[in-house]
């Protein structure tokens, strides 16, 4: 976090702290909230979104190169007129063209087609990565919102108990120490809430900036953990497919560089000679052929062989990385999801624990220490469960990276 973000957050923290201390003002007004889930948040990132459009630079370059590779050589038109004084007049018109019959054009087209395919897979990979980043933005917002909600409920519970303890102390039914301890606990909880509210506001700003059209009253729904962590054995990540296409492009480029002989340029024309009142005219045929005696494009062939070897090495490295990341993603998500389920079951009775602790305290059967220990245990467990849920969501984003592919048009497979 840079200095400007730190100052902004401290300012927001001070405002929220003052609001909570003065009357428990809530940032989210539930009377006009619009609940948004992850799928609704991601729906805006279609082919027309600026973030998606910005990913297509390499695709545009590859398509432009493909158009150039398939373009035929231009014909050459030559005209020559000779009219020296007292001599014959001669006019010659010639049309020359080099047919693409030496294999260079077909190899260039193959290389360009493979480059377009690599760019298409690369675009799909970048779109999946963009989806992962936007899922992370939404998850951070949703977790921050859930955290502030949990702390707000905790503050409300402490405030209610503090008021009850103060009334009991005024009636002489209990020691004023209990109310004072609860007041101190409220102060600490208010500070925690203010920090959580500042973080929630910060994450909402990130989400609004990325989304571009987020309603002002939007409230995020915490994503559930999807079931299952399996990956199809025949699935290949888009980045690996892109590296394979790059190998095909390098092989076609090397094949083109190996074409030393070019097809000759063929010419056809017409010439006319006028001398002493006589005109002679007729066709002219010719050919121009470059003989590669000295320059046989040795440097290009050496470079293309090296580029092919590098492309093959990048493919091997990409395949190894994909296999390793796939295995880690499956194991990590399975472990975190199972643990999150167990923690969720354990927290199902959290409200019952709070009710029992409150009833026992108000009945005089337990001390203030027992009550505060119970409340602290519940809120700590809820926040820890949220942290675990956030880790599991992050693990699922990595898992999805190994199970989801998107075409350049945006539809997922």
Highest-confidence range of 20-29, 315-324, 348-357, 399-408, by mean pLDDT?
A: 315-324
Does residue 11 register a pLDDT over 50? no
The domain limits of the chain are: 3-70+102-260+296-401
pLDDT above 90 (res 288)? no
The answer on pLDDT for 86 being more than 90 is no
Q: Which residues contact 160 (CB under 8 A, 6 or more apart)?
A: none
Which residues make beta-bridge pairs with 339? none
Q: Which fold has domain 3-70+102-260+296-401?
A: Outer membrane efflux proteins (OEP) (1.20.1600)
What average pLDDT does this structure show over 63-67? Answer: 89
Single pTM value for the model: 0.79
- Nearest CA to 55 out of 129, 106, 118 is that of 129
- Quote the pLDDT of residue 89: 85
Alpha carbons within 13 angstroms on the beta-carbon side of residue 229 total: 21
Residue range 238-256: mean pLDDT, rounded: 94
Local confidence band at 230 (pLDDT 50, 70, 90 cut-offs) = low
Q: How many CA atoms lie within 13 A of 111 on its CB side?
A: 20
Q: Put residue 410 in one of left, alpha, beta given phi > 0 → left and psi -120 to 50 → alpha.
A: left
- Cβ contacts of residue 291 below 8 Å, gap of 6+? none
Q: What is the pLDDT of residues 205-227, one digit of tens each?
A: 999 999 988 998 999 999 999 88
pLDDT at 383 over 60: yes
* Cα gap 101→103, rounded to integer Å: 6
């Amino acid at each position: 976090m840079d200095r400007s973000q730190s100052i902004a957050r401290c300012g927001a923290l001070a405002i929220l702290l003052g609001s909570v201390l003065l009357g428990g003002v809530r940032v989210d007004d539930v009377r006009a909230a619009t609940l948004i889930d992850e799928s609704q948040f991601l729906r805006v990132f279609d082919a027309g979104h600026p973030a998606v459009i910005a990913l297509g630079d390499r695709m545009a370059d590859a398509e432009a190169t493909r158009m150039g590779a398939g373009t035929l050589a231009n014909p050459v038109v030559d005209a020559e007129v000779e009219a020296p004084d007292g001599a014959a007049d001669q006019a010659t018109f010639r049309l020359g063209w080099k047919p693409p019959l030496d294999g260079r054009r077909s190899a260039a087209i193959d290389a360009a087609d493979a480059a377009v395919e690599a760019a298409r897979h690369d675009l799909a990979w970048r779109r999946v990565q963009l989806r992962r980043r936007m899922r992370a933005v939404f998850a951070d917002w949703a977790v921050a919102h859930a955290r502030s909600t949990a702390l707000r409920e905790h503050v409300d519970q402490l405030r209610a108990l503090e008021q009850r303890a103060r009334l009991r102390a005024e009636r002489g039914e209990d020691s004023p120490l209990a109310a004072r301890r609860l007041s101190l606990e409220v102060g600490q909880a208010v500070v925690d809430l203010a920090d959580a509210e500042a973080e929630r506001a910060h994450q909402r700003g990130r989400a609004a900036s990325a989304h571009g059209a987020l309603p002002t009253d939007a409230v995020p729904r915490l994503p559930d953990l999807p079931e299952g962590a399996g990956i199809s054995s025949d699935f290949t990540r888009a980045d690996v497919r892109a590296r394979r296409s790059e190998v095909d492009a390098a092989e076609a480029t090397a094949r083109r560089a190996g074409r030393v002989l070019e097809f000759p340029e063929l010419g056809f024309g017409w010439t006319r000679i006028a001398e002493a009142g006589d005109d002679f005219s007729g066709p002219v045929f010719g050919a121009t052929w470059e003989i590669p005696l000295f320059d046989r494009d040795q440097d290009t062939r050496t470079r293309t062989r090296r580029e092919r070897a590098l492309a093959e090495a990048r493919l091997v490295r990409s395949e190894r990385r994909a296999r390793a990341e796939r295995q880690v993603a499956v194991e990590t998500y399975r472990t975190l999801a199972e643990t999150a389920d167990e923690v969720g079951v354990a927290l199902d009775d959290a409200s019952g624990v709070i009710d029992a602790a409150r009833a026992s305290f108000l009945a005089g059967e337990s001390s203030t220490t027992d009550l505060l220990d119970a409340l602290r245990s519940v809120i700590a467990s809820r926040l820890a469960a949220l942290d675990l849920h956030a880790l599991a969501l992050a693990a699922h984003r990595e898992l999805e990276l190994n199970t989801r592919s998107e075409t350049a048009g945006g539809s997922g497979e």
